[in-house]
Amino acid sequence: MITAGIDVGIENVKVVILEDGKVIGRGTALSGGANRAKSVEKAYHDALKAAKIKPADVGKIVATGQGKGDVAFAADRVVEPVADARAARFLYPQATCVVDIGADQVRVMTLGEEDKIAEVVMNQKCAAGLGILLKSMARTLGMTLDAMSHLSSDGRAVVNDGCAVFAEMDVFSLLNRNVPREDIARAVAEVVAVRVNSILNDKIRPDKNNTVLVGGVSRNKAVVNALKKRSGISFIIPEQAEYAGALGAALIAAG
């Protein structure tokens, strides 16, 4: 059976088309705005095109993500930890913990027996120094997210790790003092690492060797390196990590 998983995130919609346990197509679109349903359709049709199939070929669709309610044509909806956990187990049966860093949410799930989830920890409102912060800082520093994510520096600049808005103010201070941009970029990556690390150690003890990292921010090398150093965890990062939620949803659709 062919199934589809649609993950409607804050920033991006991700779609995965699955056939007999293999991904046959992916699609993505910028979400946001009042026309999220339109973004969903675009991403979905791109995925169908990539899979070379028609809408009627898809047996079941499951939606996840914060905007899962915007997928009117989904047969079912699951919450993000359930989708992430499913994907992680599928890709790495030995996984015991999944970390999902997105635009404004970070979730850490520890996996229980069978397909149970033992614990879910989510960031609280403040200190969401995550994907949105990185995107915003890239703009302030006059570089693309991709470029920023590949920078490294030996600098020692520090920005506030308690609040994305305060972090930004600190960045302006550093620019005012003509601190090199690579150094500031490194400081920002460190912020995300600090925040995620505190969530990682809230109530749980993530496995140093069997923890999977997914979500859009996992593509950011600078952040991942900083996080690895800080947490001591050798994260397993799947290819196309930002599609993990959609993959999980597609797997759940398949049963």
Partner 1 sequence: MAQEYWRWPESSWTAQDIDWKKCKTVTAGVDVGTNSSQAVVMCDNQIFGYANLHTGPDYRETAEEDLSQALGKSKMKPKDIHYIVGTGWGSRNIPFAQKTADEITCHARGARFMFGPGVKTVVDLGAQTCKAIRLYSWDRIRDFQMNDKCADGFGRNIEVMADLLQVPIEEMGARSLAVEKDPEPVSTTCYTFANTEAIGLFREGYTESQVLAAYLFAIAWRLHGTIGRVQPEKEIAFTGGLAKNPGIVKRIEMAMGWTALTSAYDPMLAGAIGAAIIARESL
Partner 2 sequence: MAKTKWETRPLDVWNKAKEMRAKWQQSIDTASSEKVLLAQGNVGWAIGFPALRVIEDNPVGAMMANKSDEFARICRLAGEIIGWGREICGYQLNCWGAMYLGHQQDGSPFPFRDLVIPFSDPCDQHTKRGQAPMDYSPIPRFQENYPLYTGPRDPDREKAMIEDKVYTTLYILEEIERIFGQKFDDERFIESVKVSGGIAPYAQDVSRFMQHIPSPLSQKDLYSFYTLGGLTKGDPAETVAIWKALRDEVEWRVQNNIAAVGNERYRWMEAHPPPWHFLKYYRYMEKYGAVCIGSQYSHMMAGPFELKKDGTWGPRFRGGGFGGRSFDDRPLKTREDAIRAMIGVEARGHRFKDDEVIRPWALNDFAKAYKVDGAILPLWRCGVGCTVTRKEQGLRLSEMGVRVLHYEGSQPGDRTDLDENRLLDQLDVWMESQGLRKLED
DSSP SS3 for 74? coil
Q: What is the separation, in whole angstroms, between the first and last Cα of the chain?
A: 10
Answer for the pair 206, 233: CB distance below 8 angstroms, yes or no: yes
Report helix, strand or coil for 156: coil
Only one of the segments 13-21, 120-128, 129-137, 218-226 lies at the binding site for partner 2 (rule: CB under 8 A); that segment is: 120-128
Q: Is 148 in the site for partner 1 (CB under 8 A)?
A: no
How do 97-101 and 106-111 pair as beta strands? antiparallel
Q: Work out whether 178 is an interface residue with partner 1 (CB under 8 A).
A: yes
**Is 197 an interacting residue with respect to partner 2 (CB under 8 A)?**
no
CB of 108 closer than 8 Å to CB of 205? no
Query: What single-letter amino acid sits at 225?
Result: N
Provide φ and ψ at 204, rounded to 5°: -130, 165
For the record, the structure tokens of 222 come out as 């600078």
Q: At 211, list the tokens.
A: 């923890």
Which residue number, 120 or 246, has a Cβ lying nearer to partner 2? 120
132 binds partner 2 (CB under 8 A): no
Work out the number of other CB atoms within 10 angstroms of the CB of residue 154.
Answer: 7
Residue 129 Cβ, how far from partner 1 at the closest point, in Å?
8
Q: Does 168 bind partner 1 (CB under 8 A)?
A: yes
Rounded Cα gap, residues 182 and 210, in angstroms: 32
- Specify the stretch interacting with partner 2 by CB under 8 A; choose among 116-124, 147-155, 177-185, 246-254: 116-124
Cβ atoms of residues 244 and 217 within 8 Å:
no
SS3 118: strand
- Which of 111, 55, 122 minimizes the C-alpha distance to 85? 111
Quick one: what does residue 80 bind among partner 2, partner 1, none, with the CB cut-off 5 to 8 Å set by partner type? partner 2
Q: Is 166 in the site for partner 1 (CB under 8 A)?
A: yes
Q: Is 165 in the site for partner 2 (CB under 8 A)?
A: no
The nearest distance, CB 199 to partner 2, in angstroms, is: 11
Rounded least distance, CB 104 to partner 1, Å: 6
User: Binding partner 2 by CB under 8 A: which of 22, 116, 177, 205?
Assistant: 116
Q: For partner 2, how many residues bind (rule: CB under 8 A)?
A: 16
Summarize as ranges the residues that interact with partner 2 (CB under 8 A): 66, 78-82, 109, 116-117, 119-120, 122, 124-126, 203
Q: Which residues bind partner 1 (CB under 8 A)?
A: 10-11, 30, 32-36, 66-67, 69-70, 103-104, 125, 128, 132-133, 136, 140-142, 163-166, 168-169, 172, 175-176, 178, 181
